[in-house]
Amino acid sequence: MKKNLILIITVFLLAGVKVNAQEIGPAQQRLLDSLCKSISKIDVSKIKTKKEANDAFMNCFESYADQLVEVAKEQNVDMTNQAAMHDVGINIGKNLMKQKCGSFMQLAMKMAKGSDEEGNVAQSVTGTFKRIDNRGFNYLVITDKAGSEKSFIWLRQFGGSEKFMGAEAAKLAGKKIEVTWKDMEVYLPQANGYYIVKEIISISFL
């Protein structure tokens, strides 16, 4: 359960999952202080990958597993109740952010970014071009074989991108295309959290 909780904190915190705010009790504050102090001893500049960042946080967290038990008792949470411990874990991560634990925030950025070497490989999907949505950035929308819409963010220039600019894009509606993309984790201020978006790498017409 302990490792599952750590995974919950790192994944759900950085994904911007929202949970109901809880008052921070003495036991949780002690854990937050201990974690922040422990993480501050890590030389974050030497951490280059998401795995290294996750491992560093896990090592710190495991050192204070006994304090986690006290937090669970304080909040009247059964340690075997995964759903309840799920919320406890997310709150711990969010409270580290809220209390501006600088060392944790730096480490969290490392956990969020990762690297292409860790499996962020390009993927492709075919479908029918439908439209371009402008939501601050342009999002290219296609429909797959099942008729479901899939959205891809257009951040940088790619081969053929000029064909989707302005009024020209409307003329391509209904065309069969293949979109190649990579997952990218970005911070969305309006949602106050981190989310995975699919960044367009290339598009080819079929």
Q: How far is CA 137 from CA 73, 77, 156, in A?
A: 46, 42, 10
pLDDT digits (tens, 9 = 90+) for 43-102: 887 887 777 887 888 888 788 888 988 988 998 888 887 777 777 877 887 788 788 888
pLDDT of residue 131: 92
When comparing pLDDT for 191 and 40, which is higher?
A: 40
DSSP-assigned letter for residue 115: -
- pLDDT, residue 37, reads 92
pLDDT at 190: 62
Q: What is the pTM of this model?
A: 0.48
Higher pLDDT pick, 139 / 8: 139
The least confident of 19-33, 133-147, 165-179, 185-199 is: 185-199
Q: Is the pLDDT of residue 123 over 50?
A: yes
Distance separating alpha carbons of residues 78 and 116, to the nearest angstrom: 39
Q: Which CATH superfamily is domain 121-205 in?
A: Nucleic acid-binding proteins (2.40.50.140)
- The angle, 0 to 180 degrees and rounded to 10, between the axes of the packed helices 26-39 and 50-62 is 130
CA–CA gap between residue 158 and residue 83 (Å, rounded): 43
pLDDT higher than 50, residue 116: no
| CB-based contacts of 189, cutoff 8 Å, min separation 6 | none
CA distance 100 to 98: 5
pLDDT at 145 over 90: no
Q: Looking at residue 113, what is its pLDDT?
A: 60
What are the CA-CA distances from residue 201 to residues 6, 63, 153, 168, 190 (Å)?
A: 33, 42, 10, 20, 25
Question: Quick one: pLDDT at residue 6?
Answer: 53
pLDDT tens readout for residues 14-45: 444 444 445 788 999 999 999 999 989 988 87
Counting every residue, how long is the chain? 206
Please give the single-letter amino acid code of residue 26.
Answer: P
Number of Cβ within 10 Å of residue 88's Cβ equals 22
pLDDT at 5: 55
Domain residue ranges of the chain, discontinuous segments joined by +: 2-117, 121-205
Question: What confidence score (pLDDT) does residue 26 get?
Answer: 92
